[in-house]
Amino acid sequence: MIPPRLIFSSGSLKVLDQRLLPDRVKFITVRDAAGAAKATRDMALRGAPLIGCAAAFGFALELRRLKPGSAAELIKTASRTADLLKAARPTAVALFYAADRMLNLAVNFAARHHGRFSPATLKKLLALAEKEARLITAEDEAACDAMGRYGAALLPRNCVIMTHCNAGALATMGIGTAVGVITAAHKRGKIKHAYSCETRPYLQGARLTIWELMREGVPSELLTDNMAAHIIKTCGVNAIVVGADRIAANGDTANKIGTYGLAVIARHHKVPFYVAAPTPTIDLKAGDGDAIVIEERSCEEVTFVKGNRIAPKNVRVRHPAFDVTPAGLITALITEKGVISPVTRANIRKNLEK
């Protein structure tokens, strides 16, 4: 079993500190939106759907700090809170989706309650906000299950599969997206072997994904990223599945740095390349991949491994944390509403309308 990622009880949110995994299971207590934003920025919690769920709970906690007041004050606090949460990380659209959903709830509530709020009205708002945050979480959990079913049905028997980064239970409130597909297929006896790429520089594959696969009893091995092409060529890999942080309207997909390279290798070797992501990952406002903001993270995450410097002092470093895989390299998108293939603007729209 994978430990709970978020534990919400009125007044606080406990966040599993993923920086300490796999060695230690420890929780951080968050009491407001600033705490949720900090835990997200610092990577204590990570993974697109999970940072959205944490933002929703952080928003609900922030509203608890409100004193009875006016609708205008509520809108001001809610807008400031949404902005604070959205500033935590720029690429995963699930964060924006969840913050905006909570903001809409507050704005609609303010529109229905003019004048000054009584303590009873405020209590009603808090109950609604907590309910919405729990709903966002429940929807994520259900989406993971559905993607697991659709994805497992796509894979061949005796599947030798590869994944990158961590799109597992640790990145969601359910069984995961890409890793959820692998574990669901494993439960149906379809997985012969799974490979997890270590995912330099933050090592989500080495610290998190392989740990999840081992805990789920999936026959699996860890690779460094530069082994992927050789293993695909020589070890019978017949599917690759990854998650996504943001999918543009045309299907171009932003995911952890290294995903694009894997997709190019997959095309060369005629291996199907699947992206599993819930529909809130699809950003119709982004026409194509060029419109997706790619997060640049610190140099230290590249030059240090577990506190040890591995490159010369003062070296100049690049650290884009994500890349964009063009839709044309993706065999199918797997959402909770079904399988999108070929990946085209029209097919994405059709899936969203289901």
- Kindly tell me which residue out of 106, 110, 165, 275 binds ligand MRU, with binding defined by CB under 6 A: 165
Show the 3-state SS of the chain. Answer: CCCCCEEEECCEEEEECHHHCCCCCCEEEECCHHHHHHHHHCCCCCCHHHHHHHHHHHHHHHHCCCCCCEHHHHHHHHHHHHHHHHCCCCCCHHHHHHHHHHHHHHHHHHHHCCCECCHHHHHHHHHHHHHHHHHHHHHHHHHHHHHHHHHHHHCCCCEEEEECCCCEHHHCCCCECHHHHHHHHHHCCCEEEEEEECCCCCCHHHHHHHHHHHHCCCCEEEECHHHHHHHHHHCCCCEEEECCCEEECCCCEEEECCHHHHHHHHHHCCCCEEEECCHHHEECCCCCHHHCCCCECCCHHHHEECCEECCCCCCCCCCECEEEECHHHCCEEEECCEEECCCCHHHHHHHHHC
Interface segment toward ligand MRU; rule CB under 6 A; list 27-35, 72-80, 124-132, 240-248: 240-248
**Is residue 49 a contact residue for ligand MRU (CB under 6 A)?**
yes
Query: Is 245 annotated as catalytic?
Result: yes
Interface segment toward ligand MRU; rule CB under 6 A; list 2-10, 98-106, 145-153, 241-249: 241-249
- For ligand MRU, which is the closer residue by CB, 21 or 160? 21
- Kindly tell me which residue out of 81, 177, 325, 331 binds ligand MRU, with binding defined by CB under 6 A: 177
CB of 48 to ligand MRU, least distance (A): 3
CB of 47 to ligand MRU, least distance (A): 4
- Kindly tell me which residue out of 6, 36, 48, 324 binds ligand MRU, with binding defined by CB under 6 A: 48
- Kindly tell me which residue out of 256, 292, 303, 340 binds ligand MRU, with binding defined by CB under 6 A: 256
Interface segment toward ligand MRU; rule CB under 6 A; list 61-69, 96-104, 182-190, 242-250: 242-250
- Kindly tell me which residue out of 35, 47, 58, 201 binds ligand MRU, with binding defined by CB under 6 A: 47
**Is residue 172 a contact residue for ligand MRU (CB under 6 A)?**
yes
Site string for ligand MRU, 319-348 (x = CB under 6 A): --x---------------------------
> Taking the C-alpha atoms of 121, 126, 129 and 131 in order, what is their torsion angle to the nearest 10 degrees?
-100
Site string for ligand MRU, 1-30 (x = CB under 6 A): ------------------------------
**Is residue 272 a contact residue for ligand MRU (CB under 6 A)?**
no
Interface segment toward ligand MRU; rule CB under 6 A; list 60-68, 166-174, 181-189, 309-317: 166-174
Selected catalytic residue, list 245, 252, 283, 323:
245
Distances (CA, A) of 269 to 37, 233, 263: 41, 7, 10
Binding site for ligand MRU (CB under 6 A): 46-49, 92, 165, 167, 171-172, 177, 204, 243-245, 255-256, 321
Would you name the residues annotated as active-site residues?
Answer: 245
